[in-house]
Amino acid sequence: MQADSISKQRLLEKIRQLPPEKVLLVEDFIDSLDQQNTDHSLTFAAAKLSEPVLLKIWDNPDDAEYDTL
């Protein structure tokens, strides 16, 4: 826990030393990382929601031989 706090403090100090236009770039980068995380979460949620419907399609006698591959 303490190492995490030290890392955050180091990062904050580096950001404080940047010129304002570079701080904006850092903020944009952080926002893009957050958006990627949100996109991944939405994709995962959509996949989980579609699982029951797709299971009816995938789990059938005609395709049973593919289960052993």
Confidence at residue 6, expressed as pLDDT on a 0 to 100 scale: 85
Confidence of residue 19 (pLDDT cuts 50, 70, 90): very high
C-alpha span between 49 and 18 (Å, rounded): 44
Mean pLDDT, residues 47-54 taken together: 89
Residue 69 has pLDDT above 80, yes or no: no
Domain residue extents for the chain:
19-59
Confidence at residue 18, expressed as pLDDT on a 0 to 100 scale: 97
Residue 1 has pLDDT above 60, yes or no: no
pTM > 0.85: yes or no: no
Mean pLDDT, residues 41-62 taken together: 86
